[in-house]
Structure 1
């Protein structure tokens, strides 16, 4: 049976995709026909023609999501997709499958060091609990630029290896040259150590994977040699702010439907999301290298969003890419505030729009992967299209209110006048059908929780219903804000505005000043549009409120959503609860336990520790390069002397990093800094270090007592 499903899934995929296209386009044709006869001139003006085109494109976009959710509901109701990889194999067959050499990669860039490494520690120990560590190696791949950050990373790696006894199993490397973002970091690893491993599991800094899930992924890859990438469906966890908890609840409650439906349509032509997935190393190295885009502006240079492209290249090479929602134990975290989410979307918008070039110009790609590119593009392009639609509606309303009736509108070639007609009952029906597309999947998720008996993990039926209502209200408030922000991101991307790639904020709340300053454009747009609508027509004013009010309230909304007290308070009332909080799996318990144990406070910066603390100094010397005396004298000997006299205060980050990478400089500064007089920079650092040691000894004595 498994062999038949393996060879026959493409025919099933063609049928499912054809049915999906029929349903989506058929529904869109009916809705567009209704709009055509709702409009006063039935598409007889340029503005109305624009409205019809924009409406059709946007209706297709939301109809796809609707039918994906419906599909997912029915598949889950009947026990899952029999063609999925997990369903092909019995539990006994899967458990008896062998493991193979696998690298677990953690690419990082200016992440909170202690927090990130403790997450990796939880993954390591959960995998150790499976008794299968001999098949796995861990690689921390740093692209951090600030010397204080990567010096701290290196010291934390050493502490982690020492604590776990993981010598020869957890490795750390920092690239000297940061090219092509995360994909370049992974490519650098593959050039050096790729042939050492059959598979690699890619994590993000906020990723957690259970040991059982990691082993299952490797075993599935061993049983399915035609699969090049196997993607899990990560659940969002650890939300503290109200915003993060809203995102967490929505992801955990709705994603089973959407992920199951998406997997059923994509089948072996699924997308790769860049993390919490396993990849077959040899074909990935051979076929998935990313060349620079040869165009101009946005379509030039390195591809910023690499994952979809790599999946498409893997498919072009004849390998399959699968999304497996039934693989649990896969987790990630959400940005804590609306501002952080939008900052991330700003990067993603540019990367996704670059996929237009790959979708249209790259030969040999499978149709499903081209559609995945289009789906990613529409995730951001839909916002300016909605904005254009609202502008066109406003223009049309203004024409009908302010201008006399035009019986021969532009483009109309008839011999008789075209009488404008109004059909309010049709307009109401079309509005209700559109709302059904947007909100019916939420009700399906509630029905699914009844069928699957999962409501207890969400706090029970009553709490679950309240959580859905709260999430729906917040999503309504945020939709216009995201629309306006994404429209700005798309315009900036088309003009190729450069972006800075930075680590993600995971703890900070938004102040009232920041909220009003960041959301001032949205508030002005919302207020101006509402005022114009009021002066234009009372009915049109009320029609504008669902968009205008959220924009006007965007500042207090963003501030209040960032508050951790509100999020935690709702959790205490069992609202916005998820099953992982009701009964957390071991890997989450470990990560939470480790992260709650704060490290001893340090009075010295990572660079100061690298100079003064003997074992830390020796560690960094072991990684440092040996330069000739002539090279040192020519380039940075004076910087070393300046550092000795005044500390790194007057040196740039580049000069401090150059000192930290030179073995002679580290050794020289270590010896001389300990000789420094009390009143000097290094003398004061030595004094703080001595006090730190005394305080640490006192704490140890208290613990011993």
Structure 2
């Protein structure tokens, strides 16, 4: 029987993608749509004035709080740290306020759309992920596209999976759905054997190999989901405005089934639109890229986004880890518009399931964001692009400044407790009393908390004023209960995340490279011992903080309780954060259920149907025997392997070939292979061909010859 060697990849359409330097001249901005130029300018002015005004107010009030006579150097340090942190929360408040104004505005930006001429590629980079979950997403989106936009889109599964059994499982999952139906919705699969530059390298490899054939590419994550209507709107908007290089959507978090993912889901769906509206209004055509759920003009990306290799070693040198911010900045430097369209609906993603999973992700993100310090002063970048980079850096350094503020505050308390004040340190008949304005301090604390909580209130009021949306949240009573519950739970987790991010920044500054671990897609159920190992330092620090505060002053103990309480109980809080059994208790009580959980859209319902169907087809073997048992599967994999092999000596390749030659069965062979030898079999054509001796027809011929 003859088996096809076609492994479902289109012909190469090579596109050059030169690597750029950090410092280059900005190209002339392509003629952008100027319909909202005045709105963007006015919005930037609003954010600037609001942030500066609040920051000046906070600095003045804190100066008055500390002393009416003489300020010590330690108090000056406290004042400086307070001003930095107060400016940060003022900036967030200003953006949220701007967002509320535009969400309540009766005027809406109407985006231009036009029918695209060619096919749009949908890229799904995969790295040691659950392939059945990805397959369910692809099948749901393909079903929707076949119904609404046949012949307009093509899927590319771009695998960077580097673990042998994961690779076999992946191929088993995707092989049945691959096709080259140009009139429908083709699905292609490509696996890289060299994982250079991680996700950025994975996408750029596709661009240079196939990019010339596709005007635009939509980049998704392994947990992304988008409706056909959303995909078509993105493609139409790019076709209507040829100077746009990228459109980022606002992904909605779905399928949350743990405590921590549920609070993220509710915050994303209730408060997220307020922040997003503020961002898109002042960003204009110099917005940002979050790495997924976005459409990119392929030739613009190839022209502008060949990432430089940073000088030095990791964590600050080498390949760019957080590539998305930099790619948006480089597109803007090359003259292309980058836009954030928050009105596009049915763009989805999933959240990390537990606090520990967030901490693991934060470690990688922190290193990537701190790498951006090399690009902040780079030549040619738009000032808004620099703001994106600085905001990303400070999102982690803010934890350092908050920690420093707490430390200096306690140092001041210790000084006041142990150091005897000098009432007559000047030649005067009257004593110099140490003054601390408690009333003004209390008022400033109230203002600070109001700035922090205002965006959440804005989200609540925005939903309350839109009755249809309010009903999707369960009505005004459930919305209010969920909002208060989210505020409470987030307040408990906030100091844990703050201290965790502080440790992460210190770890990166020490020069430790985080590597690149795949994100957890399970329910995040951690054992008590795992939570204890992850949070032992949080607990000890919280106990030390509480004990010190109580020793110095009962009032200070109560003031610091919102911080110390969460840290002391970080182990049980972390344990509670993951696990679907614990998280779904809230759902059964009707709490923290988002609109997509109460009334799922068509594409989310399709996803759930495909997930349920595929759960019964998941294979449990994932070994070389799968290739031997399925000859079509064997020849399909063989067709993917390049004819020309690397001539350099590979010890694992030699050992694998020897073991195949001296094994009497596939089970015996598999029992003695290590991970690197198994990868060599899957990688090298000559070695994989040797497996033919175990195919059923080969065994039968051998028996007949005997």
TM-score, normalised to structure 2's length?
Answer: 0.89
Out of 420, 423, 432, the position equivalent to 1:404 is: 420
Does the CA-based 8 Å contact 2:526-2:578 persist in structure 1? Answer: yes
TM superposition shift of 1:113: 1.0
Matches within 5 A, 1:111-510: 111-130=129-148, 132-161=149-178, 169-295=186-312, 298-360=315-377, 362-406=378-422, 419-453=433-467, 454-507=469-522, 508-510=524-526
Residues 140-192 of structure 1 show CA distances to partners (whole Å, capped at 9, x for unaligned) of: 10111012112222232211126999998211111111111100100111110
Distance 1:437 1:641, change over 3 A: same
Does the CA-based 8 Å contact 2:179-2:186 persist in structure 1? Answer: no
Does the CA-based 8 Å contact 1:612-1:670 persist in structure 2? Answer: no
Residues 18-53 of structure 1 show CA distances to partners (whole Å, capped at 9, x for unaligned) of: 221111111111111111111147672221111111
Out of 542, 555, 569, the position equivalent to 2:558 is: 542
Indicate the residue corresponding to 2:12 in structure 1.
Answer: none
Indicate the residue corresponding to 2:106 in structure 1.
Answer: 79
Out of 15, 21, 40, the position equivalent to 1:13 is: 40
Q: Secondary structure at the match of 1:327?
A: coil
Does the CA-based 8 Å contact 1:42-1:48 persist in structure 2? Answer: no
TM-score, normalised to structure 1's length?
Answer: 0.89
TM superposition shift of 1:436: 0.2
Indicate the residue corresponding to 2:10 in structure 1.
Answer: none
Distance 1:557 1:635, change over 3 A: closer
Residues 624-682 of structure 1 show CA distances to partners (whole Å, capped at 9, x for unaligned) of: 345799999967531323565632333332211111234454444343375999xxxxx
Indicate the residue corresponding to 1:50 in structure 2.
Answer: 77
Does the CA-based 8 Å contact 2:152-2:185 persist in structure 1? Answer: no
Does the CA-based 8 Å contact 1:523-1:553 persist in structure 2? Answer: yes
Q: Secondary structure at the match of 2:465?
A: helix
Distance 1:44 1:193, change over 3 A: same
Does the CA-based 8 Å contact 2:248-2:293 persist in structure 1? Answer: yes
Distance 1:123 1:427, change over 3 A: same
Does the CA-based 8 Å contact 1:464-1:575 persist in structure 2? Answer: no
Does the CA-based 8 Å contact 1:228-1:319 persist in structure 2? Answer: yes
1:640 aligns with 2:660: yes
Q: Which runs of 5+ in 1 are unaligned?
A: 678-705
Distance 1:168 1:221, change over 3 A: closer
TM superposition shift of 1:539: 1.4
Out of 624, 629, 641, the position equivalent to 1:607 is: 624
Between the aligned partners of 1:259 and 1:603, the Cα distance in structure 2 is 42
TM superposition shift of 1:574: 2.2
594-603 or 172-181: bigger deviation? 594-603
TM superposition shift of 1:373: 0.7
Root-mean-square deviation (CA), in Å?
Answer: 2.7
Does the CA-based 8 Å contact 2:330-2:381 persist in structure 1? Answer: yes
Between the aligned partners of 1:205 and 1:515, the Cα distance in structure 2 is 26
How many positions carry a matched residue from both structures?
662
Between the aligned partners of 2:622 and 2:306, the Cα distance in structure 1 is 39
Q: Secondary structure at the match of 1:129?
A: helix
Out of 95, 98, 109, the position equivalent to 1:68 is: 95
Out of 649, 656, 662, the position equivalent to 2:678 is: 656
Determine which structure has the larger helix proportion and give its number: 1
Indicate the residue corresponding to 2:19 in structure 1.
Answer: none
120-129 or 178-187: bigger deviation? 120-129
634-643 or 657-666: bigger deviation? 634-643
Q: Secondary structure at the match of 1:134?
A: coil
Does the CA-based 8 Å contact 1:99-1:219 persist in structure 2? Answer: no
Between the aligned partners of 2:40 and 2:136, the Cα distance in structure 1 is 41
TM superposition shift of 1:584: 1.3
Q: Secondary structure at the match of 1:205?
A: coil
Residues 35-92 of structure 1 show CA distances to partners (whole Å, capped at 9, x for unaligned) of: 111114767222111111111111111111112111111111113553xxxx144xxx
Between the aligned partners of 1:190 and 1:475, the Cα distance in structure 2 is 41
Q: Secondary structure at the match of 1:252?
A: helix
Between the aligned partners of 2:313 and 2:692, the Cα distance in structure 1 is 50
Distance 1:628 1:533, change over 3 A: closer
Distance 1:168 1:150, change over 3 A: farther
